[in-house]
Amino acid sequence: MQILTQLIYSGIALGMIYAVIAFGYQLTFATSDTLNFGQGDALMLGALVGLSLVGAGLNYWLMIPLVCLFGAFQGAVVERIGVRPAIKIKSEFGWIMSTIALGIIFKNVAENVWGRDDLKFPSPLPESPIKLLGANVLPMEILVVAGAILMMLAVEFFNRKTIYGKAVVATFNDRDAAKLMGINTGLVITFSYALSSMTAAFAGVLIAPLTLTGATMGAVLGLKAFAVAIIGGLTSGMGIIVGGIILGIAETTTGFYISTGYKDVPGLVLLLIVLAVRPAGLFGKTAIKKV
Amino acid sequence: MTRLTQLAIALAAASVTTFAMAADPIKIGVNGPFTGGSSSMGVSMRDGVRLAAKEINDAGGVLGRKIELVERDDEAKNERGVQIAQELINKEKVVAVVGYINTGVALASQRFFQEAKIPVMNNVATGTVITEQFAKEPENYVFRNSAKDSIQAPMIVEEAITRRGFKKVAILADSTNYGQLGREDLEKALAAKGIKAVAVEKFNIKDVDMTAQLLKAKEAGAEAVLTYGIGPELAQIANGMTKLGWKVPMVGSWTLSMANYIDNAGPGGEGARMPQTFIQEPTTPKRQSFIVNYLKTFNPKNSRIDSPVSAAQGYDSVYLLAAAIKQAGSTDGPKIKSALEDLKTPIEGVVTNYNKPFSKADHDAITANIPVFGEVKGQRVVYAYPDDQKKASEVRVKK
């Protein structure tokens, strides 16, 4: 029993790491039907900028708002350079290549600025584990879970209750109609990219003390987060959390009960099943596309 | 064509001819991962190579010619290694190549050098099969001056089972060629002692959670964990142990000495032990001058070489090659190869003194008696056994 509890704890912690990254995919999809495939790299940049600020003597908690600002700026740049031209000419796939390309550029810049090695991110909380119901958790893992839930609530609140959120939803539902109603859809899309990279940067500093920090940290994490976003549904904050937990627990339990060589398989099989049965994701709204 | 470009072309042509009139430099390829998770080994190796090349050039070069290094980053990717091999052979026309950190990259790339009859000096990669890949062919162009896995694995087992008396051990290895070939060697070495590992687990590069692997080892009652992986993931193993509150000794391949393991594991990584061909201690005058020059030239953080073993082996590999070129009196691949197989003059190196390090049948310069055990202590690698340190000034030579 203790083993299972430990596996579930670690699975949840791992899943939440994926979930905080996955939010970024959702935010841009919600306005422009596009995804920032450089999400993992936005995460990496956030973590490295955070590391530099902490290294310069700044307190961890004070550093977070600065990193968020940096992330927002970085996201706006991605949208202006990579996504807007593609949307303008109604290119179906241009943004895929341009966001990937920008991601690679960011990675190379990071390699030159911060070096190529994995670095240690000093943990703001004690690094000794806490006993909880017979199994161990790290204080930092609890912080990540709290951060993920906070982000989910913030996103849901923003979309449902605020006028800006309604503009975002309207832009998603029908970009042209929203434009006719006086919503500056271009600005909304830029804003969503800024928000998306901001969450990624925030996620970066949140998870960096648990994972390692380095120019290559984004690649695998970004991909796993993408799987979470698909499983949970690209339109649901709740879905991201649940998707993350499912993928995380699937990884740790398969690793223990079946084989560590196959631990990534069940999550990805689930991804395939979800795509076949419910393409909008477990919690996604099924969009009916009228042509 | 404008006047300016004509002028530029004329100038370029002129400079090419002046180069050709001076003695052509001897081009040596340097191939390793200078980016990514293996980079602390790759960069230290490259710096060791640069140091040796500079010393040789300052002393007048080889055959009156300067050594020119052609450095390429293989990113620890097999396919990059293959591209680089072709570039070094066909475009750069190198005389020989030193390097290879990753066993997989070495195995994928060196066949091109074998076909082109260009000697390869593996100075870091440890996969046992590397020097045996072309052993059956009449001419084998692959040499090595690092401690191969079939030396390291029995050392690890000897340390864990015999010296420290553990009965139950778990193996954690990564899913790359390096990790899986090492795991095989470990299992063989354990079987020779009549022991079977209680758990054999795998992990991927960039994995951030080791709970499942460690819980399996714990449940199986492992008293020690034997590892075969590289720095960042090894650090995650140590961190995972801290998290689970389950701390058993880690004994593993030489990669436990990598700076990115030591830094990322922090206090949780202390006490890990691994075979080392070189420990950053000035135990002989040669080693002292090497360490002093290295620190002066490259100025690494906290005066700690990121991967001392890679740096020392990289340094020695150039001297071995230079000696062979000198003896051959030529930069012809087959002649250098024959000279390497029958080096007449002994070479004083950092790792050991090389006296006939290679023969026709044996292309490995390092034998089982040369490596010692290192231990992570106070964020550095030190001698695990005081006896080894006392005797370190007696250089261990190939038997």
Instruction: Name the range with the highest mean pLDDT among A82-86, A240-244, B115-119, B259-263.
Output: B115-119
Q: For B212, which of A129, A217, A263 is closest by C-beta distance?
A: A263
pLDDT at B22 over 80: no
pLDDT at B249 over 90: yes
Sort out which chain A residues have CB atoms less than 8 A from B301's CB and list them. Answer: none
pLDDT above 70 covers a percentage of chain A that reads 97
CB neighbour class for A135 (10 Å; exposed up to 12, middle 13-18, buried from 19): buried
pLDDT above 70 covers a percentage of chain B that reads 94
User: Is there a domain that residue A265 lies in?
Assistant: no
Sort out which chain A residues have CB atoms less than 8 A from B236's CB and list them. Answer: 212
Do B240 and B381 share a structural domain?
yes
Do B38 and B7 share a structural domain?
yes
Ranking A153-167, A199-213, B42-56, B109-123 by mean pLDDT, the lowest is: A153-167
Q: What is the total count of domains within chain A?
A: 1
Q: Could B215 and A118 be called an inter-chain contact, meaning their C-beta atoms sit closer than 8 Å?
A: no
Sort out which chain B residues have CB atoms less than 8 A from A6's CB and list them. Answer: 211, 215, 244
User: Is there a domain that residue A275 lies in?
Assistant: no
Question: Which residue would you say has higher pLDDT here, B249 or A182?
Answer: B249
pLDDT at A32 over 60: yes
Q: Could B211 and A118 be called an inter-chain contact, meaning their C-beta atoms sit closer than 8 Å?
A: no
Tell me the average pLDDT across B256-285: 91
Question: How many beta carbons lie within 10 A of that of residue B135, not counting itself?
Answer: 12
Do B326 and B294 share a structural domain?
yes
Q: Which CATH number fits the domain that encloses residue B222? A: 3.40.50.2300
Provide the whole-model pTM. 0.82
- What's the token pair of residue B343? 């080096």
Task: Give the CA distances from residue A200 to residues A46, A148, A191, A290, B348, in Å, rounded to whole numbers and listed in that order.
Answer: 7, 11, 14, 32, 53
pLDDT at A70 over 50: yes
Ranking A183-192, B220-229, B312-321 by mean pLDDT, the lowest is: A183-192
- What's the token pair of residue B156? 């690890």
Do B385 and B344 share a structural domain?
no
Sort out which chain A residues have CB atoms less than 8 A from B40's CB and list them. Answer: 117
User: What does the pLDDT read at residue B225?
Assistant: 95
Nearest CA in chain B to A256: B212
How many helices (H) does chain B have, and how many strands (E)? 13, 14
Q: How far is residue A10's CA from residue A136's CA, in Å, rounded to a whole number?
A: 9
Q: For B209, which of A10, A128, A217 is closest by C-beta distance?
A: A10
Structural domain of A171:
2-220
User: What does the pLDDT read at residue B21?
Assistant: 46
Structural domain of B117:
3-147+284-366
The residue type at B330? S
Do B201 and B308 share a structural domain?
no
Do B322 and B200 share a structural domain?
no
Do B88 and B9 share a structural domain?
yes
Q: Could B243 and A136 be called an inter-chain contact, meaning their C-beta atoms sit closer than 8 Å?
A: yes
User: Is there a domain that residue A43 lies in?
Assistant: yes
Tell me the average pLDDT across B2-7: 59
Q: Could B213 and A120 be called an inter-chain contact, meaning their C-beta atoms sit closer than 8 Å?
A: no
pLDDT at A57 over 60: yes
pLDDT at A99 over 80: yes
- Show contacts of A67-70: CB within 8 Å, 24+ apart: A67/A201, A67/A202, A67/A204, A67/A205, A68/A198, A68/A201, A68/A202, A69/A198, A70/A45, A70/A46, A70/A201
User: Is there a domain that residue A291 lies in?
Assistant: no
Q: Could B37 and A256 be called an inter-chain contact, meaning their C-beta atoms sit closer than 8 Å?
A: no
Do B264 and B210 share a structural domain?
yes
Q: How far is residue B123's CA from residue B310's CA, in Å, rounded to a whole number?
A: 7
Sort out which chain A residues have CB atoms less than 8 A from B260's CB and list them. Answer: 117-118, 212
- H or E element in which residue B73 lies: strand B67-73
Residue B367 forms contact with A (CB below 8 Å): no
Sort out which chain A residues have CB atoms less than 8 A from B212's CB and list them. Answer: 7, 10, 251-256, 260, 263
User: Is there a domain that residue B396 lies in?
Assistant: no
Cβ distance A53 to A204 under 8 Å?
no
Sort out which chain A residues have CB atoms less than 8 A from B197's CB and list them. Answer: none
Non-local (6+) Cβ contacts of B373 within 8 A are: B155, B159, B273, B274, B275, B276, B383, B384, B385, B388
Mind telling me how many Å the CA of B171 is from chain A's nearest CA?
Answer: 12
Q: Could B260 and A261 be called an inter-chain contact, meaning their C-beta atoms sit closer than 8 Å?
A: no
User: Is there a domain that residue B101 lies in?
Assistant: yes
Cβ distance A138 to B243 under 8 Å?
yes
- H or E element in which residue A246 lies: helix A237-257
How do residues B105-123 score in pLDDT, each as one tens digit?
Answer: 999 999 999 999 999 999 9
Q: Could A264 and B213 be called an inter-chain contact, meaning their C-beta atoms sit closer than 8 Å?
A: no
Is the complex ipTM higher than 0.90? Answer: no
Residue B245 backbone zone (phi > 0: left; psi -120 to 50: alpha; other: beta): left
Q: For B264, which of A212, A256, A259 is closest by C-beta distance?
A: A212
Ranking A91-100, B105-114, B203-212 by mean pLDDT, the lowest is: A91-100
User: Is there a domain that residue A241 lies in?
Assistant: no
User: Is there a domain that residue A190 lies in?
Assistant: yes
Question: How many beta carbons lie within 10 A of that of residue B245, not counting itself?
Answer: 12
Ranking A267-281, B162-176, B261-275, B373-387 by mean pLDDT, the lowest is: A267-281
Do B140 and B55 share a structural domain?
yes
User: Is there a domain that residue B397 lies in?
Assistant: no
- Show contacts of A136-143: CB within 8 Å, 24+ apart: A136/A6, A136/A9, A136/B243, A136/B244, A136/B245, A137/A9, A137/A13, A137/B243, A138/A13, A138/A210, A138/B243, A140/A209, A140/A210, A141/A9, A141/A13, A141/A16, A141/A210, A143/A206
User: What does the pLDDT read at residue B19?
Assistant: 47
Ranking A117-131, B83-97, B264-278, B327-341 by mean pLDDT, the lowest is: A117-131
User: Is there a domain that residue A96 lies in?
Assistant: yes
Q: Could B259 and A260 be called an inter-chain contact, meaning their C-beta atoms sit closer than 8 Å?
A: no
How do residues A234-254 score in pLDDT, each as one tens digit?
Answer: 877 788 888 999 999 998 888
Q: How far is residue B322's CA from residue B317's CA, in Å, rounded to a whole number?
A: 9
Q: Which of A121, A144, A212, A263 to mutate to test the interface with B (most CBs of B within 10 A)?
A: A212
> Interface of chain A against chain B, CB under 8 Å?
3, 6-7, 10, 13-14, 17, 111, 116-120, 127-129, 136-138, 210-212, 214-217, 219-221, 251-256, 259-261, 263-264
Tell me the average pLDDT across A207-226: 85
Q: What is the total count of domains within chain B?
A: 2
Q: How far is residue B145's CA from residue B375's CA, in Å, rounded to a whole number?
A: 22
User: What does the pLDDT read at residue B365?
Assistant: 93
User: Is there a domain that residue B9 lies in?
Assistant: yes
Sort out which chain B residues have CB atoms less than 8 A from A55's CB and list them. Answer: none
The residue type at B169? V
pLDDT at A69 over 50: yes
Task: Compute and round to an integer the Cα radius of gyration of chain A.
Answer: 19
Tell me the average pLDDT across B68-75: 93
pLDDT at A134 over 80: no
- What's the token pair of residue B100? 């290879």
Do B7 and B132 share a structural domain?
yes
User: Is there a domain that residue B395 lies in?
Assistant: no
Mind telling me how many Å the CA of B129 is from chain A's nearest CA?
Answer: 23
Cβ distance B174 to B237 under 8 Å?
no
Non-local (6+) Cβ contacts of A207 within 8 A are: A17, A20, A21, A43, A47, A144, A221
User: What does the pLDDT read at residue B10?
Assistant: 57
The residue type at A280? A
Sort out which chain A residues have CB atoms less than 8 A from B235's CB and list them. Answer: 118, 212
Mean pLDDT, chain B, integer: 90
